[in-house]
Amino acid sequence: MPGYIRLVLLTLTSTPTSQTPDATALSYLLHKHPDRVQSFDLAIGTATVLYPESSAEKTTVAVIVDVDPIELVQSRYRRGKSGDNFSLGEYVNDRPYAASSILSVALSKLFRTALTGTCKSHPELVGAELALTVSIPVVPCGGDADLPRRLFEPLGWDVTAIPVQLDPHLPTWGNSDFVSLTLTGEHTVQSALRHLYVLLPVLDDVKHYWVGPDEADKLIRVAGEWLASHPDSALIMSRYLARRRDLVESVVDRLIPEQAEAQIEVPRLDPPLARLRVDAVSATLQRLPVRTIVDIGCGEGKLIEALMPHARFDKLVGVDVSARELTRAQRRLKFTEMSDVQRERVSLMQSSATYRDARMKGFDAAVLMEVIEHVDAARLPALVRSVFVDAAPQYVLMTTPNADYNVLYPALAEGEFRHPDHRFEFSRTQFGDWATETARAHGYSVEFEFVGAIDPALGGPTQMAIFTKEARTS
């Protein structure tokens, strides 16, 4: 094709911020000297990195990948892949021109140290956020020009995706399945590279190499901090792992359960069921005479965030067994920006719902939102003891999936749970019997409500129990 070359291009530009007033910090973090042009061999071509500009005011690094289409085809056949539907399909395609898993592999090889968050010469820069602009002229998106925004915007990027015309000289032909993508935002270099590494193959929906169990490990390692809470986590996992359900389930199983379930439940609700649960629990707490609340299994702190604006709540404590989720909660709740007064009111601590912990005593209300179904049935008595006997708040709010409702999820096979980490899912009768017996045995009364769209025959997707400690009679 005259005038075309087989090149994939990406540029990453840094400008000064209050944290990094010198834009040349980018070159230190990438471990590539601005005065040198460096090339590296890939399995299917060559990757080159260079700096079109480098100054304290603006530093830009360019990554150029020259793809060998013959080697790309041969590598597919070595993996046992068959050709496309027409004889030249393996040779005539967009692989050598558009961003894809090939570019992700190039980024990994060129900037491996930056991806691991290492900079021995300037370690203080690793955690610093730079003002970054990523430009990729040709990105496949299957004709869905909004997909880049859906993928990158939740990670803090401003996204501009301009559809690429099939032929600028023939506008009536319309747009292609590609966009010209620009991302802007303040991120650490490590985070930016990891976002690109994972999401470029997701946009393309194809990987040029065999996807095996090590890819699931890699996805957890590279995207584990944000994948579970991403609104399109199910799509990301499915595409990144070549739609291999076994690999997707292995990743979901290792993600924080409350987060993962909220993303993979289908059909989607608007607003999502996870949001409706938070709203329902928050509304219930607001109508109860409570001032101090402990959220057991708080995850990334969405309920605490919803309760913080209400001044009547004097003390809000989030508890989770996962240190990683508590770190996310700190970010969500903006702990670094809190005043001393706010820090006295809102706090987080690491603990488990199934172990006695004196720090959970003395609260007016305890919340266990989508927690019990992740506990082995044999451990439920330990949870009941730690909550209703040791902590013994005046009120306990508990939500859990309604198994009767599962027949309305078309993607859920009969007998399957909504999340691979669920140890069980109560039907309405089972939850009612269990909660009623738990209340009777420990001096509480209990009421039930549904959360989400209610089916006349099956109830709602989430069932909530509100336990109230009964006054002792002499």
Q: Are residues 199 and 277 in the same domain?
A: no
CA pair distance 182, 340, nearest whole angstrom: 40
Q: For residue 373, which phi and psi values (nearest 5 degrees)?
A: -70, -10
Q: Containing domain of residue 51, as a range?
A: 7-210
Q: Is residue 421 part of a domain?
A: yes
Cα-to-chain-centroid distance, residue 176 = 29
Locate 55 and state its tokens.
Answer: 């100054």
Could you tell me where the DSSP H helices lie in 67-188?
69-78, 101-110, 112-115, 147-152
Q: Are residues 284 and 167 in the same domain?
A: no
Q: Is residue 299 part of a domain?
A: yes
Q: Which of 192, 210, 228 lies at the terminal end of a domain, its last residue?
A: 210
Locate 316 and state its tokens.
Answer: 């809000």
Residues 6 or more apart whose CB falls under 8 angstroms from that of 199 comprise 151, 152, 236
User: 436, 446 in Cβ contact below 8 A?
Assistant: yes
Please choose, from the candidates 184, 220, 212, the residue with its C-alpha nearest in 3D space to the C-alpha of residue 79.
Answer: 212
CA pair distance 151, 202, nearest whole angstrom: 9
Q: Outline where DSSP puts E strands in 172-217.
A: 175-187
CA pair distance 387, 356, nearest whole angstrom: 8
Q: Is residue 222 part of a domain?
A: no
Q: Which of 157, 180, 210 lies at the terminal end of a domain, its last residue?
A: 210
Q: Is residue 35 part of a domain?
A: yes
Q: Are residues 196 and 283 in the same domain?
A: no
Q: Are residues 291 and 392 in the same domain?
A: yes
Cα-to-chain-centroid distance, residue 382 = 31
Q: Are residues 194 and 300 in the same domain?
A: no
- The CATH number covering residue 458 comes to 3.40.50.150
Q: Classify the C-alpha dihedral 238-239-241-242 as positive or negative.
A: positive
Q: Is residue 319 part of a domain?
A: yes
Q: 164 in helix, strand or coil? A: strand
Q: Are residues 342 and 197 in the same domain?
A: no
- The CATH number covering residue 115 comes to 3.30.1610.20
Angle between helices 245-254 and 213-223 (to 10 degrees): 40
* 332-365 burial code (b ≥16 CB/10 A, e <16): ebebeeeeeeeeebbbbeebbbbeebeebeebbb
CA pair distance 442, 367, nearest whole angstrom: 17
How does pLDDT run along the chain (474 residues), one tens digit per residue? Answer: 333 344 668 899 999 988 789 999 999 999 899 999 998 888 778 889 999 999 999 999 999 988 766 555 455 444 444 444 434 444 444 555 677 788 888 898 899 899 888 888 888 888 888 999 999 998 988 878 899 999 999 999 999 999 988 888 888 888 888 899 999 999 999 999 999 999 999 998 877 667 888 888 889 889 988 998 888 888 899 899 988 877 887 787 776 444 444 444 444 445 678 889 999 999 999 999 999 999 999 988 999 999 999 999 999 999 998 887 888 889 889 988 888 888 899 999 999 898 889 999 999 999 999 999 989 888 999 999 999 999 999 999 999 999 999 888 776 777 788 877 788 999 999 999 999 999 999 999 999 999 998 999 999 999 999 999 997 655
Q: Are residues 40 and 127 in the same domain?
A: yes
Q: What is the pLDDT of residues 19-75, one digit of tens each?
A: 789 999 999 999 899 999 998 888 778 889 999 999 999 999 999 988 766 555 455
Q: Outline where DSSP puts E strands in 385-438.
A: 395-401
- What domain count does the chain have? 2
N residues, the chain: 474
Q: Which of 193, 210, 227 lies at the terminal end of a domain, its last residue?
A: 210
Q: Are residues 95 and 179 in the same domain?
A: yes
Q: Are residues 330 and 444 in the same domain?
A: yes
User: 70, 16 in Cβ contact below 8 A?
Assistant: no
Q: Is residue 136 part of a domain?
A: yes
Q: Are residues 440 and 301 in the same domain?
A: yes
Q: For residue 67, which phi and psi values (nearest 5 degrees)?
A: -90, 130
Q: Are residues 91 and 168 in the same domain?
A: yes
Q: Is residue 159 part of a domain?
A: yes
Q: Are residues 121 and 203 in the same domain?
A: yes
Q: Are strands 38-42 and 130-140 parallel, antiparallel or unpaired?
A: unpaired
Q: Is residue 259 part of a domain?
A: no
Angle (nearest 5°) at CA 146 between 164 and 243: 100
